[in-house]
Structure 1
Amino acid sequence: MESMTNDHTQKVLSAVDEAFDASVEELKSLVRIPSVAFGGFDPAKLDESASAVKALMESTGVFDSVRIERVPVAPGSEEFGQPAIIARREAAPGKPTVLLYAHHDVQPWGDEALWKTPPFEPTVIGDRLYGRGASDDKAGVMTHVAALRVLQQIAPDSGLGIALFIEGEEEYGSRSFANFLETHKETLRSDVIVVADSDNWSTTVPSLTVSLRGNVKFGLTVTTLDHANHSGMYGGAVADAPLAAIRLLNTFWDENGSSAVEGLLSAEHTAPDQDEQQVRDEAGVPEGVSLIGSGRVLDRLWNDPAITVVGTSLPDVQNASNTILPTATFVVSARIAPGQSSADALAALERHVEKHTPFGAKAEITNVELGDPFLVDTTGPAVRAMKESMADAWGNEAVEAGIGGSIPFISLLEQEFPNAEILVTGVEDPGTMAHSPNESQHLGVLRNAIASEALLLTRLATGGLG
């Protein structure tokens, strides 16, 4: 791949900077739309958001046609997924095609009393733009829009192929994603895939995400009785379901809080050193409360399995009574290390539950959701081009980072387009607080993310993948 000249690099960066204020204003307009895909929220807002993104993509001048599409959540289903935006510009002979992915749906906003500013009134405080979706992932959408405008301005006749997929239900589990890929495979077929939905090392140092843990989420229902009983009459002789369930759940971890499930594997990849205090500060761990696990902290977050109880059917405090409960259900989320399939991990968890359920209780695993991990081959030409572009845009070399969370649809992209290089980039930083009250986008990070992608596209336009 040919290196870009300093003059060409500066021309791209200048174009990004000249349009940046306008890009921020367009991002604010997107943030004002409460585009939540969860049930119980106004679906018209998703349609409004999709239309706004469609108009932005049309404004780039890159595509002859931009479409809003919906597909059934599965082949033959009568239930449809949420509106997504797709487009394609065919590549000239010898030029690669790049697929740009982001999502326009957002998390619910929760308790507005916990927000410093109204969640859908974008507000700049210092160097951050606050609002639900300001970062995750409407800033990703605007990164693509702004980068495409620069490509069209700098190299309008480059012949670089561009495919576009802006999803409308990522926060809701990407339920129609697999069917969408199958239905629109030819529109989305590409050589390089840029997923603008991840993190950066800091506000001054970029990251290229090279590994993601997978996820096995399931309901665990434990039953000890045919019906409820008075705890005064039978307590001490009859096992309540929460007792059996808690005893079972406790076997998931060793004394340090690491996974104790035989068959859940760790990955053998090098992670950078990280100060544990930084993790404590970012996660809000109070003084005196220990971190869990053993070994280097980033290995625990990126390369080791982790099991978390995220929900329960038990009565809340207000509705508690002196009753021996016959059943108890807990929702368990197990993060799976790169290199292990979610199916293998589920089998290990099933064996563990069968072996460790106490008191002869009945334990049932239901409502299973699987997402495979992801590991990038970092030797490809697109990875090199992305890292060079990040260095030029940020003024610092990119960190090859893992992410402890999961993006299950990336493994679907990998299955559908096995020969494509997948670049997981992002607009977030450790202070973003995505999914939480007071989500925000650091404006310096947004500028650098746009510049990185614009430089990548112009590099690929001029040098291809050779």
Structure 2
Amino acid sequence: MELRRDLGGTVDGLMPELKGLLGQLVAIPSIAFPEYPKENVRRAHDLVAEELRKSGVGEIQVLNLPDTSPVVYGRIPAPEGAPTVLLYGHYDVQPSGDESLWHTPPFTPTEKDGAIYGRGAADCKANVVAHIGALRAYGGKPPVGITVVIEGQEEYGSVFDDYPAEKPELFQADALLICDAGNIRAGQPTLVTALRGVADVFVEVRTLAAPVHSGQFGGAAPDALLALVAALATLHDADGNVAVPGLRRDKWQGANYTDKEFAEVTGMAPGMPLLGTGPIGERIWYGPAITVIGLDAPPTKTAASAVVPYAKAYLNVRVHPEQDPAEGQRAVIEHLKKVRPFGIELEVTGGDIGAGFAAGTNGPAYAAMGEAMKKAWGVDAVDSAMGGSIPLTNTMAAANPNSEVLMLGVEDSNCNMHGYNERVLVSELRNVALAEAEFFQLFADRMRK
């Protein structure tokens, strides 16, 4: 009991320096996209490495992989008989977009109403700072072994996604804390236990050699755009549920958004209905989604009065966490090839795929983190999921087939990550740092029993 009370007080005492460090990191526009200056990525890398050294991570090295930003890699050896915990995060950020749409400059960290605003404040620099805070809560000598992996090109795409499978000995741990997730709502500690898989599908239709006059020939001439729209309409039923056979959907037993919360989080127009039926969690986490994310067709501003000869759609398909994304992709391709709107054959091809992930929830790490989160937030933790994918999670899990994967973080559903006015709540930063610190001791205790 004394240790737990001291951890809370220690983390509270660390908060001024942790907020200051987060501010330093947010002020560095560490965007790893090709057209942005590489020196900013290097500056963020160097700052993270130095702060980890100050936090007791003595064995720090740089993983310089081809065509990617440097990865900070460090270790603290485990005490005798103690487990090892891997801490993951990333120091790179998304571009800021149109800076005129930000209430405060994106790379000028601004604290207001209990939140720190700035690009990367939530995704993912506050998670990196939380790792540092948890280590400093023990004076750099935690009761578990530590492996720290902080990469610098997560937002753009990195060869590091595959590297842990090539060098599994560098990433061995009993528990993996993938801190690039967050809470379903502020103040509600959440463990993300599932990620949907992803697959791309392209649909093309060509009906004429060139556009022809819609007045002279429309009504009989085969309209490529009309055929494409008709085909896309078969992907969902009248309620908006995915209607493609072979795509898995299961009951979801974890936390859920309310309809009102979901409308607020997504910025739905007033009175706009949700798509699909059933619990929202089932629709967005444990079932499929098919989204038309691109369309090649004449723009309205320059459209001529002509029958369209060619059209193409780009579909983003999300599949159940435990379904093979290639299987889901094939299901969509086969469905569309059978449609033949108005007797017109479609050309349907597959693109990139990414596997989903389902974490185990019966091990000692999961139990210890649930207990640690309750101590930090004061309420029971819940399970949630993410509709997006984190490719590294699968690779890390493959490198550690006997370890537990815990996905958590400082983000909440209103943090605006990747959007304008991104922010992290100071309370969530504090609680994640404290939960990690509590977890180290609770997990060590459980593994020694």
Band of TM-score, shorter chain: over 0.9
Q: 1:336 aligns to what?
A: 319
Matched, 1:433 2:416: yes
How far, CA to CA, are the matches of 1:181 and 1:71 in structure 2?
A: 12
Q: Which amino acid aligns with 2:185?
A: S
How far, CA to CA, are the matches of 1:319 and 1:137 in structure 2?
A: 42
How far, CA to CA, are the matches of 1:19 and 1:69 in structure 2?
A: 29
Matched, 1:286 2:273: no
Q: 1:169 aligns to what?
A: 153
- Are the structure 2 counterparts of residues 139 and 220 from structure 1 closer, same or farther at C-alpha, using a change threshold of 3 Å? farther
Q: Map 1:53-202 onto structure 2 (within 5 A).
A: 53-64=48-59, 66-72=60-66, 80-153=67-140, 156=141, 158=143, 160-172=144-156, 174-202=157-185
| Structure 1: gaps of 5 or more residues | 1-5, 73-79
TM-score if structure 1 supplies the norm length?
Answer: 0.90
Most deviating of 28-37 and 439-448: 28-37
8 A contact 1:224–1:362 mirrored in 2:
no
Secondary structure of residue in 2 paired with 1:251 = helix
Q: Which amino acid aligns with 1:225?
A: L
How far, CA to CA, are the matches of 1:246 and 1:128 in structure 2?
A: 44
8 A contact 1:198–1:209 mirrored in 2:
yes
Q: Which amino acid aligns with 1:424?
A: M
CA-based RMSD of the aligned residues comes to 2.0
Q: What is the CA-CA distance between 1:455 and the residue it aligns to?
A: 1.0
Q: What is the CA-CA distance between 1:268 and the residue it aligns to?
A: 3.2
Q: What is the CA-CA distance between 1:95 and the residue it aligns to?
A: 1.9
Deviations 1:350-376 (A, max 9, x none): 21121114242331324x221222222
Q: What is the CA-CA distance between 1:274 and the residue it aligns to?
A: 4.2
How far, CA to CA, are the matches of 1:138 and 1:271 in structure 2?
A: 27
Sequence identity, in percent?
34
How far, CA to CA, are the matches of 1:175 and 1:237 in structure 2?
A: 50
Q: Map 1:441-452 onto structure 2 (within 5 A).
A: 441-452=424-435
How far, CA to CA, are the matches of 1:33 and 1:226 in structure 2?
A: 52
- Are the structure 2 counterparts of residues 175 and 314 from structure 1 closer, same or farther at C-alpha, using a change threshold of 3 Å? farther
Q: 2:346 aligns to what?
A: 362
Q: 1:77 aligns to what?
A: none
- Are the structure 2 counterparts of residues 70 and 361 from structure 1 closer, same or farther at C-alpha, using a change threshold of 3 Å? farther
Q: 1:3 aligns to what?
A: none
- Are the structure 2 counterparts of residues 284 and 178 from structure 1 closer, same or farther at C-alpha, using a change threshold of 3 Å? closer
Deviations 1:48-107 (A, max 9, x none): 22222212212212222x2222323xxxxxxx1222211223334422111111111211
- Are the structure 2 counterparts of residues 287 and 460 from structure 1 closer, same or farther at C-alpha, using a change threshold of 3 Å? same
Q: What is the CA-CA distance between 1:231 and the residue it aligns to?
A: 4.1
8 A contact 2:213–2:306 mirrored in 1:
yes
8 A contact 2:364–2:447 mirrored in 1:
no
Q: What is the CA-CA distance between 1:441 and the residue it aligns to?
A: 0.4
Q: What is the CA-CA distance between 1:314 and the residue it aligns to?
A: 3.0
Q: What is the CA-CA distance between 1:118 and the residue it aligns to?
A: 0.9
8 A contact 1:271–1:299 mirrored in 2:
no
8 A contact 1:381–1:465 mirrored in 2:
no
TM-score if structure 2 supplies the norm length?
Answer: 0.94
- Are the structure 2 counterparts of residues 327 and 394 from structure 1 closer, same or farther at C-alpha, using a change threshold of 3 Å? same
Q: 1:8 aligns to what?
A: 3
- Are the structure 2 counterparts of residues 327 and 166 from structure 1 closer, same or farther at C-alpha, using a change threshold of 3 Å? farther
8 A contact 2:368–2:446 mirrored in 1:
no
8 A contact 1:106–1:137 mirrored in 2:
yes
Q: 1:28 aligns to what?
A: 23
Q: What is the CA-CA distance between 1:195 and the residue it aligns to?
A: 0.7
Q: 1:49 aligns to what?
A: 44
Secondary structure of residue in 2 paired with 1:197 = coil
8 A contact 1:214–1:407 mirrored in 2:
no
| Structure 2: gaps of 5 or more residues | none
- Are the structure 2 counterparts of residues 431 and 157 from structure 1 closer, same or farther at C-alpha, using a change threshold of 3 Å? closer
How far, CA to CA, are the matches of 2:63 and 2:305 in structure 1?
A: 53
Q: How many residues align?
A: 448
- Are the structure 2 counterparts of residues 162 and 288 from structure 1 closer, same or farther at C-alpha, using a change threshold of 3 Å? same
8 A contact 2:84–2:147 mirrored in 1:
yes
8 A contact 2:194–2:385 mirrored in 1:
yes
8 A contact 1:71–1:179 mirrored in 2:
no
Most deviating of 326-335 and 175-184: 175-184
8 A contact 1:88–1:187 mirrored in 2:
no
- Are the structure 2 counterparts of residues 275 and 182 from structure 1 closer, same or farther at C-alpha, using a change threshold of 3 Å? closer
- Are the structure 2 counterparts of residues 411 and 454 from structure 1 closer, same or farther at C-alpha, using a change threshold of 3 Å? same
Q: What is the CA-CA distance between 1:273 and the residue it aligns to?
A: 5.3
Matched, 1:456 2:442: no
Which of the residues 225, 237, 244 maps onto 1:254? 237
Q: What is the CA-CA distance between 1:177 and the residue it aligns to?
A: 2.9
How far, CA to CA, are the matches of 1:444 and 1:60 in structure 2?
A: 21
Q: Which amino acid aligns with 1:69?
A: L
8 A contact 1:84–1:167 mirrored in 2:
yes
Secondary structure of residue in 2 paired with 1:67 = strand
Secondary structure of residue in 2 paired with 1:369 = strand
- Are the structure 2 counterparts of residues 343 and 323 from structure 1 closer, same or farther at C-alpha, using a change threshold of 3 Å? same
Q: What is the CA-CA distance between 1:47 and the residue it aligns to?
A: 2.1
Secondary structure of residue in 2 paired with 1:309 = strand
